[in-house]
Amino acid sequence: MSPQERRTGGKPAPKGGRPAGSRGGKPAGRGGGPSRSGAPRGGAPRAASPPAPEPQIDVHDPDGVRLQKVLATAGLGSRRACEELIAAGRVTVDGAAVRELGVRVDPTTAIIHVDGIRVQLDTSIITIALNKPKGVVSTMHDPEGRPTIAQYVANREERLFHVGRLDAETEGLILLTNDGDLANRLSHPSHGVVKTYLAHLDGRVPPSLGGRLLRGIELEDGPVKVDRFNIVQVTPQASLVEVSLHEGRNRVVRRLFDEVGFPVTALVRTSIGPIRLGDLKPGRTRVLSKTEVGSLMTQAGM
């Protein structure tokens, strides 16, 4: 047997001088080349499976009240207008979007939002804004006999809790509510409800002060930093600034400016979250609307 025959397994080599199956030949049905039909080997690629639909939450309570009636009772407009809100997908119940007009809910337990704002359904809940005057302490009773905020809501039958405190020399917005959960959430800094103040300072503040306050200042009970800072007006002897922060520590605004060398000469709290003091006179109160209370509840994570 010749060497050539041994290389080809005893068979004569094909014409052209290359043995069958050598690298110079075309693959015999192997590899990734196209098939005779033009489709890639291994069949056509499979279409991606559509994502599985999210499980739907059944919020319907057969013994409840129609959702559009609940919304209308809460002051969201006429029943027809509330039906349009539902049909437009702007209403959620317990976190689930509702578009069907036949859904019934229990207004005593359901958590309803419209456009992301919590709807206040409990008609017994009341929240009041007070412009606390200077010289009044932020308690409902003072053992030393000093004037308290209780005198401004003495005609209310509800048991009211005040949201946060202002020292006796600070004026401005305080909220009072009979919703204990709302009061606790608004007062606790972990919920990030921002409070804004106008502060009259002794001395002309430099533009660089804002950066220092935003980065944080170390006080004796720990660091504090503001959320926003704005210089409203300056003179050679004094400054008027606006500062926002979600801290609730005692006299924190006064201590903050003392630390940076610009003592506070007068201080007014102008807002708590979305609620503004506006033109409310010192010693006067007003009942918040359901929309305002809903905004507060939403900011407090309720």
Same domain as 286, residue 169: yes
pLDDT one-digit tens code per residue, 141-187: 889 989 999 999 999 888 898 887 899 999 999 999 998 888 888 87
Same domain as 170, residue 292: yes
- Segments forming the whole domain that contains residue 170: 127-190+278-299
- Count the neighbouring beta carbons within 10 Å of the beta carbon of residue 28: 8
Separation CA 120–CA 118 (nearest Å): 6
pLDDT one-digit tens code per residue, 226-285: 999 999 999 999 999 999 998 778 899 999 999 999 999 999 999 999 999 999 999 999
Query: End of a domain among 73, 97, 118?
Result: 118
Would 214 be classed as within a structural domain?
yes
pTM of the model: 0.73
Same domain as 237, residue 94: no
Same domain as 175, residue 288: yes
Is 61 in the active site? no
Same domain as 162, residue 145: yes
How many structural domains compose the chain?
Answer: 3
Same domain as 86, residue 142: no
Would 48 be classed as within a structural domain?
no
Q: φ, ψ for residue 60 (rounded to 5)?
A: -70, 130
Q: Which residues, in sequence order, are bridge partners of residue 239?
A: 201, 234
Would 37 be classed as within a structural domain?
no
B/e letters for 90-121, b = 16+ CB within 10 Å, e = fewer, are ebbbeeeebeeeebbbebeebebbbeebbbbb
Query: End of a domain among 56, 86, 118?
Result: 118
Q: Which of 90, 88, 68 is nearest to 80 (CA)?
A: 68
- pLDDT interval class at 291 (50, 70, 90): confident
Which residue out of 115, 122, 167, 258 is catalytically annotated? Answer: 167
Query: End of a domain among 54, 89, 118?
Result: 118
